[in-house]
Amino acid sequence: MERYDAVVIGAGNGGLTAAATLAKKGVNVLLLERHNIPGGCATSFCRGRFEFEVALHQLSGLGTPEKPGLLRMELDKLGVMENLEFVELSDLYHVATPKGFRITLKTDRSENIAMLQEKFPHEKDAIDRYFDLMASYANDMIGAFIFRDPEPSREKYPYLYKYALRNSKEILDEYFSDPLLKAILSVYWGYLGVPPTRLAFAYLAMIFFQYMEFKPYHIKGGSQALSNAILNKFISDGGTARFSCGAKKIVVKNGRVKSVVTDNNDEIITEYVVSNASQVTTYTQLIDPEYVPESVSVEIKGRNLSTSAFTMFIGFDCEPEELGITESTNFLMDSTDISDAILDRMQNLNIQDELMVLSCYDIADADFSPPGTCQANVVTLKYGEPWLRIPPRQYHDVKFRCAESMLKRVEQIYPDAKKHIEEIEVGTPLTHMRYLGHPFGAIYGYEMLTKDSLFFQPGPYSPIQGLFLAGGWAGDNGFEPTLRSGISAAKSIIRRLGVK
Protein backbone atom coordinates (compact mmCIF):
# COMPACT_ATOMS: atom_id res chain seq x y z
CA MET A 1 0.00 0.00 0.00
CA GLU A 2 1.21 3.49 -0.84
CA ARG A 3 1.74 6.00 1.93
CA TYR A 4 1.61 9.81 1.78
CA ASP A 5 1.87 12.47 4.49
CA ALA A 6 -1.31 14.03 3.09
CA VAL A 7 -3.90 13.37 0.38
CA VAL A 8 -5.79 16.22 -1.26
CA ILE A 9 -9.14 15.27 -2.81
CA GLY A 10 -10.10 17.53 -5.70
CA ALA A 11 -8.03 19.95 -7.79
CA GLY A 12 -10.35 22.97 -7.67
CA ASN A 13 -8.90 26.27 -6.43
CA GLY A 14 -8.90 25.19 -2.78
CA GLY A 15 -7.44 21.74 -3.48
CA LEU A 16 -4.70 23.13 -5.73
CA THR A 17 -3.47 25.76 -3.29
CA ALA A 18 -3.67 23.30 -0.38
CA ALA A 19 -1.57 20.76 -2.31
CA ALA A 20 0.96 23.36 -3.50
CA THR A 21 1.35 24.93 -0.03
CA LEU A 22 2.00 21.51 1.51
CA ALA A 23 4.45 20.39 -1.20
CA LYS A 24 6.37 23.68 -0.93
CA LYS A 25 7.07 22.79 2.71
CA GLY A 26 8.37 19.37 1.69
CA VAL A 27 5.25 17.46 2.73
CA ASN A 28 4.75 14.32 0.64
CA VAL A 29 1.34 14.91 -1.01
CA LEU A 30 -0.93 13.01 -3.38
CA LEU A 31 -3.53 15.07 -5.26
CA LEU A 32 -6.53 13.13 -6.60
CA GLU A 33 -8.85 14.69 -9.19
CA ARG A 34 -11.81 12.97 -10.81
CA HIS A 35 -11.82 15.18 -13.93
CA ASN A 36 -8.96 14.95 -16.44
CA ILE A 37 -7.78 18.54 -15.94
CA PRO A 38 -7.06 20.72 -12.90
CA GLY A 39 -9.21 23.67 -11.82
CA GLY A 40 -12.78 22.57 -10.99
CA CYS A 41 -14.70 25.73 -11.96
CA ALA A 42 -11.38 27.38 -12.85
CA THR A 43 -10.98 25.62 -16.20
CA SER A 44 -11.50 26.11 -19.90
CA PHE A 45 -12.62 23.89 -22.79
CA CYS A 46 -12.18 24.05 -26.56
CA ARG A 47 -14.76 24.19 -29.36
CA GLY A 48 -13.56 24.90 -32.88
CA ARG A 49 -10.88 27.58 -32.74
CA PHE A 50 -12.04 28.94 -29.35
CA GLU A 51 -10.83 28.10 -25.87
CA PHE A 52 -13.74 29.07 -23.62
CA GLU A 53 -13.37 30.38 -20.08
CA VAL A 54 -15.69 28.39 -17.82
CA ALA A 55 -16.14 30.60 -14.77
CA LEU A 56 -14.02 33.67 -14.16
CA HIS A 57 -15.75 36.97 -14.85
CA GLN A 58 -13.79 39.19 -12.49
CA LEU A 59 -10.90 38.19 -10.25
CA SER A 60 -10.87 40.06 -6.93
CA GLY A 61 -8.24 40.69 -4.29
CA LEU A 62 -5.21 40.94 -6.58
CA GLY A 63 -4.41 44.65 -6.43
CA THR A 64 -1.35 46.06 -8.13
CA PRO A 65 2.32 45.31 -7.39
CA GLU A 66 2.47 48.74 -5.66
CA LYS A 67 -0.73 48.17 -3.69
CA PRO A 68 -1.05 44.40 -3.47
CA GLY A 69 -4.23 42.69 -2.35
CA LEU A 70 -4.21 39.60 -0.13
CA LEU A 71 -4.50 37.26 -3.12
CA ARG A 72 -1.43 38.70 -4.88
CA MET A 73 0.56 38.33 -1.65
CA GLU A 74 -0.52 34.70 -1.20
CA LEU A 75 0.14 33.70 -4.82
CA ASP A 76 3.49 35.43 -4.62
CA LYS A 77 4.45 33.45 -1.49
CA LEU A 78 3.35 30.27 -3.24
CA GLY A 79 5.78 31.09 -6.06
CA VAL A 80 3.30 31.12 -8.95
CA MET A 81 3.09 34.84 -9.76
CA GLU A 82 6.07 34.83 -12.13
CA ASN A 83 4.29 32.34 -14.37
CA LEU A 84 1.10 34.33 -14.63
CA GLU A 85 -0.01 37.47 -16.41
CA PHE A 86 -3.05 39.38 -15.24
CA VAL A 87 -5.10 41.86 -17.22
CA GLU A 88 -6.60 44.75 -15.28
CA LEU A 89 -10.17 45.69 -16.25
CA SER A 90 -11.00 49.38 -16.47
CA ASP A 91 -14.72 48.91 -15.89
CA LEU A 92 -16.47 47.58 -12.81
CA TYR A 93 -19.49 46.83 -14.93
CA HIS A 94 -21.78 48.10 -17.62
CA VAL A 95 -25.56 47.87 -17.13
CA ALA A 96 -27.83 47.70 -20.18
CA THR A 97 -31.61 47.50 -20.27
CA PRO A 98 -33.78 46.71 -23.33
CA LYS A 99 -35.31 50.19 -23.01
CA GLY A 100 -31.95 51.66 -24.00
CA PHE A 101 -30.65 52.71 -20.59
CA ARG A 102 -26.84 52.35 -20.42
CA ILE A 103 -24.37 53.09 -17.67
CA THR A 104 -20.76 52.04 -17.11
CA LEU A 105 -19.30 52.09 -13.63
CA LYS A 106 -15.53 52.40 -13.61
CA THR A 107 -13.03 51.34 -10.99
CA ASP A 108 -12.68 54.89 -9.69
CA ARG A 109 -14.91 56.00 -6.82
CA SER A 110 -15.23 59.70 -7.79
CA GLU A 111 -15.91 58.83 -11.41
CA ASN A 112 -18.69 56.48 -10.32
CA ILE A 113 -20.27 59.00 -8.03
CA ALA A 114 -20.23 61.64 -10.79
CA MET A 115 -21.62 59.21 -13.36
CA LEU A 116 -24.45 58.03 -11.09
CA GLN A 117 -25.31 61.60 -10.03
CA GLU A 118 -25.52 62.65 -13.66
CA LYS A 119 -27.96 59.81 -14.44
CA PHE A 120 -29.88 60.07 -11.16
CA PRO A 121 -29.78 63.77 -10.18
CA HIS A 122 -32.77 63.30 -7.82
CA GLU A 123 -30.62 60.92 -5.71
CA LYS A 124 -27.51 63.14 -5.65
CA ASP A 125 -27.01 63.42 -1.87
CA ALA A 126 -27.98 59.82 -1.21
CA ILE A 127 -25.35 58.63 -3.73
CA ASP A 128 -22.64 60.57 -1.87
CA ARG A 129 -23.79 59.19 1.47
CA TYR A 130 -24.03 55.62 0.16
CA PHE A 131 -20.47 55.63 -1.19
CA ASP A 132 -19.29 57.05 2.15
CA LEU A 133 -21.15 54.26 3.92
CA MET A 134 -19.50 51.56 1.77
CA ALA A 135 -16.04 53.04 2.45
CA SER A 136 -16.64 53.41 6.21
CA TYR A 137 -18.06 49.91 6.39
CA ALA A 138 -15.10 48.45 4.50
CA ASN A 139 -12.60 50.27 6.74
CA ASP A 140 -14.28 48.88 9.86
CA MET A 141 -14.35 45.42 8.33
CA ILE A 142 -10.67 45.53 7.43
CA GLY A 143 -9.68 46.73 10.91
CA ALA A 144 -11.82 44.31 12.87
CA PHE A 145 -12.00 41.27 10.68
CA ILE A 146 -9.15 41.15 8.17
CA PHE A 147 -6.54 42.40 10.68
CA ARG A 148 -8.28 40.42 13.43
CA ASP A 149 -8.48 43.09 16.10
CA PRO A 150 -8.41 41.09 19.37
CA GLU A 151 -10.62 43.66 21.07
CA PRO A 152 -13.26 44.77 18.60
CA SER A 153 -16.05 46.94 19.96
CA ARG A 154 -19.09 48.88 18.81
CA GLU A 155 -17.28 52.12 19.63
CA LYS A 156 -14.26 51.27 17.47
CA TYR A 157 -16.24 49.83 14.55
CA PRO A 158 -19.68 51.48 14.54
CA TYR A 159 -20.48 50.74 10.87
CA LEU A 160 -19.57 47.08 11.16
CA TYR A 161 -21.78 46.58 14.19
CA LYS A 162 -24.66 48.55 12.73
CA TYR A 163 -24.75 47.22 9.17
CA ALA A 164 -22.96 43.86 8.84
CA LEU A 165 -25.97 41.62 9.33
CA ARG A 166 -28.66 43.79 7.80
CA ASN A 167 -29.82 42.73 4.38
CA SER A 168 -28.71 44.70 1.35
CA LYS A 169 -32.20 45.60 0.14
CA GLU A 170 -33.02 47.17 3.49
CA ILE A 171 -30.00 49.46 3.24
CA LEU A 172 -30.68 50.35 -0.40
CA ASP A 173 -34.31 51.16 0.48
CA GLU A 174 -33.10 53.35 3.32
CA TYR A 175 -30.85 55.38 1.02
CA PHE A 176 -32.66 55.47 -2.33
CA SER A 177 -36.13 55.64 -3.84
CA ASP A 178 -35.27 55.01 -7.51
CA PRO A 179 -35.73 51.27 -8.29
CA LEU A 180 -33.32 51.36 -11.25
CA LEU A 181 -30.56 52.89 -9.14
CA LYS A 182 -31.09 50.28 -6.41
CA ALA A 183 -30.94 47.50 -9.00
CA ILE A 184 -27.73 48.94 -10.53
CA LEU A 185 -25.97 49.22 -7.19
CA SER A 186 -26.89 45.67 -6.18
CA VAL A 187 -26.13 43.72 -9.40
CA TYR A 188 -23.17 42.04 -7.74
CA TRP A 189 -25.69 39.84 -5.92
CA GLY A 190 -25.37 37.79 -9.11
CA TYR A 191 -21.78 36.91 -8.08
CA LEU A 192 -22.86 35.96 -4.57
CA GLY A 193 -25.86 33.81 -5.44
CA VAL A 194 -28.57 35.23 -3.16
CA PRO A 195 -30.87 38.17 -3.93
CA PRO A 196 -30.44 41.51 -2.10
CA THR A 197 -33.29 40.59 0.28
CA ARG A 198 -31.17 37.74 1.67
CA LEU A 199 -27.68 39.09 1.12
CA ALA A 200 -25.85 40.52 4.14
CA PHE A 201 -24.78 44.09 3.44
CA ALA A 202 -21.33 42.90 4.60
CA TYR A 203 -20.95 41.08 1.27
CA LEU A 204 -22.43 43.73 -1.02
CA ALA A 205 -20.34 46.54 0.50
CA MET A 206 -17.14 44.48 0.47
CA ILE A 207 -17.42 43.14 -3.08
CA PHE A 208 -18.07 46.63 -4.45
CA PHE A 209 -15.31 48.19 -2.36
CA GLN A 210 -12.81 45.40 -3.16
CA TYR A 211 -13.28 45.62 -6.92
CA MET A 212 -13.02 49.42 -6.77
CA GLU A 213 -9.93 49.50 -4.54
CA PHE A 214 -8.06 46.44 -5.77
CA LYS A 215 -9.49 46.38 -9.33
CA PRO A 216 -11.06 43.47 -11.19
CA TYR A 217 -8.81 41.29 -13.35
CA HIS A 218 -8.87 38.66 -16.07
CA ILE A 219 -6.06 36.17 -16.47
CA LYS A 220 -4.02 35.78 -19.68
CA GLY A 221 -4.93 32.30 -20.89
CA GLY A 222 -8.03 32.28 -18.67
CA SER A 223 -8.48 30.68 -15.29
CA GLN A 224 -7.03 27.43 -16.69
CA ALA A 225 -3.65 29.21 -16.83
CA LEU A 226 -3.90 29.89 -13.09
CA SER A 227 -4.87 26.28 -12.32
CA ASN A 228 -2.05 24.97 -14.53
CA ALA A 229 0.50 27.29 -12.89
CA ILE A 230 -0.42 26.10 -9.38
CA LEU A 231 -0.39 22.46 -10.48
CA ASN A 232 3.01 22.86 -12.14
CA LYS A 233 4.45 24.43 -9.00
CA PHE A 234 3.03 21.57 -6.94
CA ILE A 235 4.65 18.99 -9.23
CA SER A 236 7.98 20.82 -9.37
CA ASP A 237 8.00 20.83 -5.55
CA GLY A 238 7.72 17.04 -5.56
CA GLY A 239 3.95 16.56 -5.40
CA THR A 240 2.16 13.67 -7.12
CA ALA A 241 -1.09 14.26 -9.03
CA ARG A 242 -3.51 11.69 -10.45
CA PHE A 243 -6.22 12.81 -12.85
CA SER A 244 -9.31 10.87 -13.90
CA CYS A 245 -8.89 9.29 -10.50
CA GLY A 246 -11.27 10.37 -7.77
CA ALA A 247 -11.42 9.42 -4.13
CA LYS A 248 -14.30 7.11 -3.29
CA LYS A 249 -13.70 6.69 0.41
CA ILE A 250 -11.99 8.35 3.34
CA VAL A 251 -11.37 5.58 5.87
CA VAL A 252 -11.83 6.77 9.48
CA LYS A 253 -10.99 4.78 12.60
CA ASN A 254 -11.37 5.95 16.21
CA GLY A 255 -12.24 9.44 15.04
CA ARG A 256 -9.05 9.76 12.94
CA VAL A 257 -8.32 9.62 9.22
CA LYS A 258 -6.52 6.37 8.33
CA SER A 259 -6.50 6.16 4.55
CA VAL A 260 -8.14 7.13 1.26
CA VAL A 261 -9.50 4.65 -1.28
CA THR A 262 -9.37 5.79 -4.91
CA ASP A 263 -11.84 5.07 -7.71
CA ASN A 264 -9.30 2.45 -8.87
CA ASN A 265 -9.56 0.75 -5.45
CA ASP A 266 -6.02 1.69 -4.42
CA GLU A 267 -5.82 2.30 -0.70
CA ILE A 268 -3.49 5.17 0.22
CA ILE A 269 -2.34 5.31 3.83
CA THR A 270 -2.34 8.84 5.24
CA GLU A 271 -3.08 10.73 8.44
CA TYR A 272 -4.15 13.96 6.75
CA VAL A 273 -6.77 14.64 4.12
CA VAL A 274 -7.84 17.95 2.60
CA SER A 275 -11.20 17.56 0.90
CA ASN A 276 -12.03 20.03 -1.85
CA ALA A 277 -15.12 17.93 -2.66
CA SER A 278 -18.33 19.44 -1.29
CA GLN A 279 -18.89 19.14 2.45
CA VAL A 280 -22.06 17.18 1.63
CA THR A 281 -20.17 14.67 -0.55
CA THR A 282 -17.34 14.42 1.97
CA TYR A 283 -19.57 13.47 4.89
CA THR A 284 -22.41 11.62 3.13
CA GLN A 285 -20.54 9.71 0.43
CA LEU A 286 -16.85 9.51 1.24
CA ILE A 287 -17.08 8.66 4.94
CA ASP A 288 -19.10 5.76 6.36
CA PRO A 289 -22.13 7.14 8.26
CA GLU A 290 -21.13 5.62 11.61
CA TYR A 291 -18.00 7.78 11.64
CA VAL A 292 -19.75 11.06 10.84
CA PRO A 293 -20.22 13.04 14.06
CA GLU A 294 -23.80 14.04 14.90
CA SER A 295 -22.75 17.72 15.03
CA VAL A 296 -21.76 17.57 11.36
CA SER A 297 -25.04 15.96 10.25
CA VAL A 298 -26.96 18.64 12.16
CA GLU A 299 -24.90 21.39 10.56
CA ILE A 300 -25.40 20.01 7.03
CA LYS A 301 -29.15 19.68 7.55
CA GLY A 302 -29.35 23.29 8.73
CA ARG A 303 -27.81 24.78 5.62
CA ASN A 304 -29.17 25.48 2.14
CA LEU A 305 -27.44 24.50 -1.07
CA SER A 306 -26.53 27.41 -3.29
CA THR A 307 -27.75 28.04 -6.78
CA SER A 308 -26.22 26.61 -9.93
CA ALA A 309 -26.04 28.40 -13.29
CA PHE A 310 -27.15 28.32 -16.90
CA THR A 311 -24.29 29.47 -19.10
CA MET A 312 -23.84 30.14 -22.78
CA PHE A 313 -20.33 30.19 -24.26
CA ILE A 314 -20.29 32.01 -27.59
CA GLY A 315 -17.46 32.37 -30.10
CA PHE A 316 -18.12 35.24 -32.55
CA ASP A 317 -16.55 35.60 -35.99
CA CYS A 318 -15.89 39.32 -35.45
CA GLU A 319 -14.28 41.80 -33.07
CA PRO A 320 -16.37 42.93 -30.05
CA GLU A 321 -16.80 46.50 -31.44
CA GLU A 322 -18.68 45.12 -34.44
CA LEU A 323 -21.26 43.72 -32.02
CA GLY A 324 -21.37 46.89 -29.95
CA ILE A 325 -19.66 45.27 -26.96
CA THR A 326 -17.41 47.91 -25.44
CA GLU A 327 -16.96 46.75 -21.84
CA SER A 328 -15.64 43.52 -20.32
CA THR A 329 -18.44 42.96 -17.80
CA ASN A 330 -22.02 43.64 -18.88
CA PHE A 331 -25.11 43.08 -16.78
CA LEU A 332 -28.20 42.68 -18.96
CA MET A 333 -31.06 43.87 -16.79
CA ASP A 334 -34.69 43.41 -17.81
CA SER A 335 -36.27 43.96 -14.42
CA THR A 336 -35.43 46.32 -11.59
CA ASP A 337 -37.17 44.05 -9.11
CA ILE A 338 -34.74 43.14 -6.32
CA SER A 339 -37.35 41.44 -4.13
CA ASP A 340 -37.62 37.75 -3.21
CA ALA A 341 -39.38 37.18 -6.56
CA ILE A 342 -35.83 36.69 -7.88
CA LEU A 343 -35.77 33.33 -6.09
CA ASP A 344 -38.83 32.15 -8.04
CA ARG A 345 -37.11 33.00 -11.30
CA MET A 346 -34.01 31.09 -10.24
CA GLN A 347 -36.21 28.03 -9.63
CA ASN A 348 -37.91 28.39 -12.98
CA LEU A 349 -36.99 26.38 -16.09
CA ASN A 350 -37.64 29.34 -18.39
CA ILE A 351 -35.44 32.31 -19.08
CA GLN A 352 -37.43 35.53 -19.16
CA ASP A 353 -36.36 38.68 -17.36
CA GLU A 354 -33.53 37.26 -15.24
CA LEU A 355 -30.41 39.28 -14.52
CA MET A 356 -27.57 38.05 -16.74
CA VAL A 357 -23.91 38.82 -16.93
CA LEU A 358 -22.13 38.81 -20.28
CA SER A 359 -18.35 38.87 -20.04
CA CYS A 360 -16.28 39.54 -23.11
CA TYR A 361 -12.66 38.57 -22.53
CA ASP A 362 -11.31 40.25 -25.67
CA ILE A 363 -12.06 43.80 -24.54
CA ALA A 364 -9.17 43.96 -22.08
CA ASP A 365 -7.05 41.30 -23.77
CA ALA A 366 -7.19 41.55 -27.58
CA ASP A 367 -5.29 38.22 -27.89
CA PHE A 368 -7.75 36.20 -25.83
CA SER A 369 -9.52 34.73 -28.89
CA PRO A 370 -8.06 34.14 -32.39
CA PRO A 371 -7.51 37.32 -34.48
CA GLY A 372 -10.73 38.78 -35.88
CA THR A 373 -12.90 36.92 -33.36
CA CYS A 374 -14.06 37.33 -29.78
CA GLN A 375 -15.88 35.30 -27.16
CA ALA A 376 -18.53 35.94 -24.57
CA ASN A 377 -19.66 33.98 -21.57
CA VAL A 378 -23.31 34.70 -20.64
CA VAL A 379 -24.60 33.46 -17.28
CA THR A 380 -27.78 33.52 -15.30
CA LEU A 381 -28.28 31.82 -11.95
CA LYS A 382 -30.56 28.79 -11.80
CA TYR A 383 -31.11 26.25 -9.03
CA GLY A 384 -30.26 22.68 -9.96
CA GLU A 385 -33.22 20.87 -8.42
CA PRO A 386 -35.81 21.63 -11.19
CA TRP A 387 -33.26 20.46 -13.79
CA LEU A 388 -32.94 17.11 -12.07
CA ARG A 389 -36.68 16.59 -12.43
CA ILE A 390 -36.61 16.91 -16.24
CA PRO A 391 -37.14 13.51 -17.87
CA PRO A 392 -33.92 12.63 -19.80
CA ARG A 393 -35.72 12.71 -23.17
CA GLN A 394 -36.85 16.29 -22.59
CA TYR A 395 -33.51 17.61 -21.34
CA HIS A 396 -32.23 18.74 -24.73
CA ASP A 397 -35.51 20.50 -25.57
CA VAL A 398 -35.48 22.43 -22.30
CA LYS A 399 -31.82 23.31 -22.71
CA PHE A 400 -32.43 24.46 -26.30
CA ARG A 401 -35.47 26.53 -25.32
CA CYS A 402 -33.55 28.28 -22.53
CA ALA A 403 -30.60 28.92 -24.85
CA GLU A 404 -32.92 30.47 -27.46
CA SER A 405 -34.48 32.74 -24.82
CA MET A 406 -31.08 33.75 -23.52
CA LEU A 407 -29.89 34.54 -27.02
CA LYS A 408 -32.97 36.72 -27.63
CA ARG A 409 -32.06 38.68 -24.51
CA VAL A 410 -28.52 39.12 -25.80
CA GLU A 411 -29.87 40.28 -29.18
CA GLN A 412 -32.02 42.95 -27.49
CA ILE A 413 -28.82 44.65 -26.40
CA TYR A 414 -26.44 43.52 -29.17
CA PRO A 415 -28.74 43.12 -32.22
CA ASP A 416 -26.13 41.55 -34.52
CA ALA A 417 -24.99 38.90 -32.03
CA LYS A 418 -26.81 35.92 -33.60
CA LYS A 419 -25.53 36.65 -37.11
CA HIS A 420 -21.91 36.43 -35.93
CA ILE A 421 -22.02 33.19 -33.94
CA GLU A 422 -19.31 30.77 -35.05
CA GLU A 423 -19.36 28.41 -32.06
CA ILE A 424 -21.83 28.02 -29.23
CA GLU A 425 -21.98 25.71 -26.23
CA VAL A 426 -24.38 25.63 -23.32
CA GLY A 427 -23.87 24.48 -19.73
CA THR A 428 -26.80 23.78 -17.41
CA PRO A 429 -26.88 22.98 -13.68
CA LEU A 430 -26.52 19.32 -14.72
CA THR A 431 -23.25 20.16 -16.46
CA HIS A 432 -21.91 21.66 -13.23
CA MET A 433 -23.11 18.63 -11.33
CA ARG A 434 -21.28 16.33 -13.70
CA TYR A 435 -17.98 18.20 -13.77
CA LEU A 436 -17.76 19.37 -10.15
CA GLY A 437 -19.55 16.49 -8.44
CA HIS A 438 -21.40 18.96 -6.20
CA PRO A 439 -25.02 18.21 -5.16
CA PHE A 440 -27.57 19.84 -7.50
CA GLY A 441 -24.67 21.43 -9.39
CA ALA A 442 -24.35 24.08 -6.62
CA ILE A 443 -21.63 26.48 -7.77
CA TYR A 444 -21.32 28.58 -4.61
CA GLY A 445 -21.25 25.86 -1.92
CA TYR A 446 -23.84 26.67 0.71
CA GLU A 447 -26.13 29.61 0.16
CA MET A 448 -24.40 32.75 1.44
CA LEU A 449 -27.36 33.73 3.62
CA THR A 450 -26.83 36.20 6.46
CA LYS A 451 -26.95 33.41 9.04
CA ASP A 452 -24.18 31.55 7.18
CA SER A 453 -22.14 34.63 6.29
CA LEU A 454 -18.43 35.05 6.85
CA PHE A 455 -18.94 35.83 10.54
CA PHE A 456 -20.20 32.32 11.30
CA GLN A 457 -18.20 30.02 9.05
CA PRO A 458 -16.49 26.90 10.40
CA GLY A 459 -13.37 27.26 8.23
CA PRO A 460 -11.22 24.27 7.28
CA TYR A 461 -11.77 22.28 10.49
CA SER A 462 -13.60 19.00 10.99
CA PRO A 463 -14.32 17.08 14.19
CA ILE A 464 -12.65 14.10 12.48
CA GLN A 465 -8.96 14.33 13.30
CA GLY A 466 -6.75 14.72 10.27
CA LEU A 467 -9.59 15.89 8.00
CA PHE A 468 -9.65 19.46 6.66
CA LEU A 469 -11.92 21.15 4.14
CA ALA A 470 -10.91 23.59 1.44
CA GLY A 471 -12.87 25.50 -1.17
CA GLY A 472 -16.29 27.01 -1.45
CA TRP A 473 -17.94 24.63 1.02
CA ALA A 474 -15.59 25.60 3.82
CA GLY A 475 -16.20 29.34 3.60
CA ASP A 476 -16.96 32.04 1.10
CA ASN A 477 -17.07 31.39 -2.61
CA GLY A 478 -15.25 33.08 -5.44
CA PHE A 479 -11.70 32.68 -6.70
CA GLU A 480 -10.02 34.73 -4.01
CA PRO A 481 -11.65 33.10 -0.95
CA THR A 482 -11.33 29.55 -2.29
CA LEU A 483 -7.69 29.97 -3.31
CA ARG A 484 -6.96 31.35 0.15
CA SER A 485 -8.97 28.63 1.91
CA GLY A 486 -6.68 25.90 0.54
CA ILE A 487 -3.66 27.72 1.92
CA SER A 488 -5.33 28.03 5.29
CA ALA A 489 -6.19 24.28 5.37
CA ALA A 490 -2.60 23.40 4.42
CA LYS A 491 -1.18 25.65 7.15
CA SER A 492 -3.27 23.80 9.74
CA ILE A 493 -1.69 20.52 8.63
CA ILE A 494 1.80 22.02 8.50
CA ARG A 495 1.41 23.19 12.12
CA ARG A 496 0.29 19.73 13.22
CA LEU A 497 3.15 18.04 11.36
CA GLY A 498 5.56 20.43 13.08
CA VAL A 499 7.12 21.35 9.73
CA LYS A 500 9.13 24.61 9.82
Ligand X SMILES: Cc1cc2nc3c(=O)[nH]c(=O)nc-3n(C[C@H](O)[C@H](O)[C@H](O)COP(=O)(O)OP(=O)(O)OC[C@H]3O[C@@H](n4cnc5c(N)ncnc54)[C@H](O)[C@@H]3O)c2cc1C
Residues found near ligand X in the complex (CB under 6 A): 9-15, 32-35, 40-42, 55-58, 60, 191, 246-247, 276-277, 281, 309, 311, 379, 436-437, 443, 471-472, 477-480, 482
- For ligand X, the closer of residues 130 and 479 by Cβ is 479
- For ligand X, the closer of residues 164 and 309 by Cβ is 309
- For ligand X, the closer of residues 127 and 279 by Cβ is 279
Q: Which helix (H) or strand (E) holds 220?
A: none
Contact 164, 455 (CB under 8 A): yes
Please report the beta strands in 146-255, taking only residues with DSSP state E, as ranges in sequence order: 217-219, 240-242, 247-253
The values of phi and psi at residue 97, to 5°, are: -115, 155
For the CA atoms of the chain, what is the radius of gyration? 22
Q: CA 136 to CA 160: how far, in whole Å?
A: 9
269 contacts: CB under 8 Å, gap ≥ 6? 1, 2, 3, 4, 258, 259
Provide, rounded to whole angstroms, the least separation between the CB of residue 259 and ligand X: 14
Other Cβ atoms closer than 10 A to 147 = 9
Q: Which of 376, 332, 334, 335 is nearest to 357 (CA)?
A: 332
Provide, rounded to whole angstroms, the least separation between the CB of residue 252 and ligand X: 15
- For ligand X, the closer of residues 97 and 477 by Cβ is 477
Strands, sheet with 29-32, edge to edge from the N-terminal-most edge strand: 240-242, 29-32, 6-9, 272-275, 467-469
Tell me whether residue 298 is exposed, middle or buried, using C-beta atoms within 10 angstroms of its C-beta: 0 to 12, 13 to 18, 19 or more: exposed
Provide, rounded to whole angstroms, the least separation between the CB of residue 348 and ligand X: 18
- For ligand X, the closer of residues 181 and 432 by Cβ is 432
Provide, rounded to whole angstroms, the least separation between the CB of residue 10 and ligand X: 3
Q: What is the DSSP string of 60-113?
A: -S-B-SSSB-HHHHHHHHHT-GGG--EEE-SEEEEEE-TTS-EEEEES-HHHHH
- For ligand X, the closer of residues 14 and 176 by Cβ is 14
Provide, rounded to whole angstroms, the least separation between the CB of residue 184 and ligand X: 18
Q: CA 169 to CA 172: how far, in whole Å?
A: 5
Provide, rounded to whole angstroms, the least separation between the CB of residue 123 and ligand X: 28
Provide, rounded to whole angstroms, the least separation between the CB of residue 61 and ligand X: 8
- For ligand X, the closer of residues 97 and 482 by Cβ is 482
- For ligand X, the closer of residues 40 and 195 by Cβ is 40
Provide, rounded to whole angstroms, the least separation between the CB of residue 188 and ligand X: 10
- For ligand X, the closer of residues 12 and 69 by Cβ is 12
Strands 421-427 and 329-332: unpaired
- For ligand X, the closer of residues 60 and 168 by Cβ is 60
Amino acid 208 reads F
Provide, rounded to whole angstroms, the least separation between the CB of residue 443 and ligand X: 4
Q: CA 21 to CA 26: how far, in whole Å?
A: 9
Provide, rounded to whole angstroms, the least separation between the CB of residue 124 and ligand X: 31
- For ligand X, the closer of residues 56 and 96 by Cβ is 56
Which residue(s) pair with 58 in the sheet?
A: none
Contact 310, 406 (CB under 8 A): yes
Provide, rounded to whole angstroms, the least separation between the CB of residue 170 and ligand X: 25
Q: CA 66 to CA 63: how far, in whole Å?
A: 8
Provide, rounded to whole angstroms, the least separation between the CB of residue 214 and ligand X: 12
- For ligand X, the closer of residues 126 and 257 by Cβ is 257
Q: CA 455 to CA 129: how far, in whole Å?
A: 26
Q: Which helix (H) or strand (E) holds 116?
A: helix 109-119
Which residue(s) pair with 379 in the sheet?
A: 311, 357
How many residues are listed for the chain in this entry? 500
- For ligand X, the closer of residues 133 and 221 by Cβ is 221
Q: How far does CA 449 lie from the centroid of its chain?
A: 15
Q: Is the dihedral of CA 353, 208, 340, 122 positive or negative?
A: negative
* Measured torsion, CA atoms of residues 172, 177, 181, 184, in degrees rounded to the nearest 10: 40
Provide, rounded to whole angstroms, the least separation between the CB of residue 177 and ligand X: 31
